[in-house]
Chains A and B, each alone.
Chain A
Amino acid sequence: MNARSFCRAFFCAAVAAAPFAFPPNAAAQETIRFGAPLPLTGALAPEALKQQQGYDLWAEQVNKAGGITVGGKKMKVEIVYTDYQSNTPRAVQAAEQLITQGKVDFLFSPFGSGAAKAASTVSEKYRMPTIASTASSAQVYDQGYKYLFGTFTPNDTLTTPLTQIVAQTAPNVKRVAIIARNDLFPLAIAQEMEKSAKNRGLEVAMFEKYAINTMDHSSALAQVKAANADWIFVTGYINDLVLIRKQMSDQRIGAPVVTMIAGPAYQEFIDAAGAGAENISSAAWWHPAVRYQGKDLFGTADNFVKLFRAKYNSTPDYAQASSAVSGALFQMAIEKAGSLDREKVRDALAGMNVVTFWGPVHFGPNGQIDSLEPPVFQIQGRKAVVVHPPEIKQGELQLGVGMQK
């Protein structure tokens, strides 16, 4: 190829590429598009549904109020969902498609720490401000990325207050047995629990993992019984925890303290475990009982719960609240930036220091929230009762789960 034909080819290519390099003027846009890749079908579908409810409620409320104010102009909000069928590699693909083909302005991460971490690479590549509403593991945020923000504090912020309150209330609790689902989040939280327990001088008498889709826990529980633990700490998702609680009754296993993460935060757990749910303790990032006077459009947990009940006829848990607050945080950042410019919105998120119905929100240098103190709660009389931190507590930690009289 000689110099002249090279120049001609280059010129043609440049002309062809120009529309891509200079997208249509953002000012002509009427709505702000938020991309949300979610596992709407497959094993994680119940979790996806929760996130979707949170995003939808936020979008509905924003649009009812006229939209988000961008430089003096009200713009409506639209959430663009794609289903990645509970398949993490597809989540990355879905996120990329939303950015390149869906032309979304901002992005919500896919569900959970694993998928959020995988998809964060795409956000970084396209400099797309992204909020992860369900990712807690520190490994998601330690990649040095600038465009990823998360509303869950690290896992140890759940287990440290738990051990603290148990040590205060039940000084006789010495031996801990831990059973963990062999899965990213449940295993990480169990490992944090092991550390927290050891830091408090408790003896970890047993640490066993069980495989995903385990249909019978009787052997693991026989070992728990033999370990004679004062504190049984189980991690998993609702189905695992309901089954394990049932099998604990089946084998007449009890302990002064039984903690389960992450099922008891959900109303379905209380319904499915029935009387067995009594006195099970847990911790989560948010609870309808928290009392913060927020500057976001929901304002208080009470107001959020009221709006949520009106729309879905059920009580929200931390997953739905986190999704809704993620939308509200984008809204505040866009309004502060006064434009849809990705860099400006990113900077507004990074500099955010505000109280919301979710709690105080400030992101650390790695993008993960560092201002929130997650509540510890316990099921008492078929209701979740906050027992820590002291500022918002509704009752005292009760001892004894399934103990023989």
Chain B
Amino acid sequence: MFLQILVNGVVLGCLYACIAAGFSLVWGVLNVINLMHGSFIVLGSYLAWGAYHSMGVSPWVTIAIAAPLFYLMGYLVQRGVLNRVMAAPVLVTLTLTFGMDLILNNAMILAFKADYRKLILDPPLGTVAWGSVVVPVDRLVATVFALVLTGALYVLLRRTRMGRAIIAVRLDRDAARLMGVDVPVTYAAAFGLGAAMAGCAGVLLALIFPISPLSSIPYLGKAFVVCVLGGLGSVPGAVLGGLVLGLVESFGAMAIGPEHAVTLSFALLIGFLVFRPQGLLGKRGFE
């Protein structure tokens, strides 16, 4: 049973990393706490559900569609709305994204109703077993995809011109501007990337969790905890934070009962905020 719970924890942790990566990027680079992140994920799930059940498009293909689509949406939201208030205190962007989340979430309730739906693959992917340890294939595939996606984001930030610009703006906005970086465009690109990550995560999670507009808040809550654990703006931090959270919840549920697993993860959050606010891989003093 120990091994099974370890495997469960690792797989769950990768899903959490996938939920949090885009959120962490936007918070870390733009200093915007994007409260729409959970709703973006749910929207991605609906995209996967609709594409599969009405047009027979497999979720693996939908990921390729979701990424540019959500990038564009995020880019436009940042360009059109958020860039206007970037100089204002963080509370203003927080309130703004909160308001936009209310609109987006209620629009989804209107469009899709609040019923829970589920993307059911036909035939189902089934499970694989090594001895007594059983792992569902869909979670395994989602885990691999989550790692690939976060890896791609990491490479994008480190190796490409746009990625370097994002990191430059994150380190020092004014110096980056003096070096000729177009700051508003970079902001929009970073927000677009965050949205694309959320959309792709949504497509993957549609295979695993029931889909409803009401799921957006739990997703957002997990993203918060993972970011604080891992460190803001750090892609490897999101993976590490996700893994830590997944393992703590799994073993916590076994040791002290499932009813306290969530309490445990939030106790961990408070502990980190008090003793290591920069997170596992974050850098102190960066706002």
Contacts and interface: CB of A to CB of B under 8 A. Distances in A.
Nearest to A267: B115
Given A43-B214, A216-B12, A239-B212, A182 B259 contact: yes
A208 B257 contact: yes
Interface stretch (B22-30, B180-188, B195-203, B215-223): B215-223
Contact of A271 (B117, B135, B208): B117
Interface stretch (A119-127, A244-252, A330-338): A244-252
B114 A45 contact: yes
Contacts of A208: 257-259
Interface stretch (A74-82, A220-228, A281-289, A298-306): A220-228
B134 A219 contact: no
A209 B259 contact: yes
Main secondary structure of the interface of B (DSSP, over half): helix
B249 to A, nearest CB: 6
B259 A252 contact: no
B1 interface: yes
Nearest to A48: B114
A313 B136 CA distance: 36
Interface in A270-285: 271-275
A252 B254 contact: no
A251 B285 CA distance: 44
Q: Tell me what chain A mostly uses at the interface: helix, strand, loop, or mixed.
A: helix
B258 A46 contact: no
A101 interface: no
Interface stretch (B156-164, B168-176, B230-238, B260-268): B260-268
The size class of the interface chain B forms with chain A is 35 or more
Interface string A254-279: 00000000000000100111110000
A305 B261 CA distance: 42
Nearest to A263: B116
Contacts of A238: 116, 210
Given A226-B1, A250-B136, A211 B261 contact: yes
A242 interface: yes
A342 interface: no
B1 A214 contact: no
A340 interface: no
Interface string A35-57: 00000010101100100000000
Interface string B246-258: 1001111110011
A261 to B, nearest CB: 16
A235 to B, nearest CB: 13
Nearest to B138: A250
A243 B221 contact: no
Contact of A239 (B5, B210, B259, B261): B210
B127 A252 contact: yes
A360 B129 CA distance: 52
Contacts of A222: 1, 4-5, 8, 254
Interface in A80-131: none
Interface centre among A214, A217, A226 (most CB of B within 10 A): A214
Interface residues of A, number: 38
A370 to B, nearest CB: 33
A273 B259 CA distance: 24
A50 B79 CA distance: 40
A220 B117 CA distance: 23
A54 B259 CA distance: 34
A193 B217 CA distance: 31
Contacts of A45: 109, 114, 214
A249 B214 CA distance: 24
B16 to A, nearest CB: 9
Interface string A328-370: 0000000000000000000000000000000000000000000
A224 B115 CA distance: 28
Contacts of A275: 120, 124
B45 to A, nearest CB: 13
Nearest to A238: B116
Interface in B1-22: 1, 4-5, 8, 12
A215 B38 CA distance: 14
A218 interface: yes
B118 interface: yes
A145 interface: no
B134 A250 contact: yes
Given A43-B214, A252-B127, A220 B118 contact: no
B83 interface: no
Given A214-B261, A222-B5, A46 B254 contact: no
Interface of A: 41, 43, 45-46, 49, 179, 182, 208-211, 213-220, 222-223, 225-226, 238-239, 242-243, 246, 249-252, 268, 271-275
Given A49-B114, A219-B261, 18 more contacts: A41-B106, A211-B258, A211-B261, A213-B218, A218-B12, A219-B249, A222-B1, A222-B8, A226-B1, A239-B212, A239-B215, A246-B208, A249-B136, A250-B127, A250-B134, A250-B139, A272-B118, A273-B118
21 contacts: A41-B106, A41-B109, A43-B214, A46-B116, A46-B212, A49-B114, A208-B259, A210-B258, A210-B259, A214-B262, A216-B8, A216-B12, A217-B258, A219-B253, A226-B1, A239-B215, A243-B210, A250-B127, A250-B134, A268-B115, A272-B117
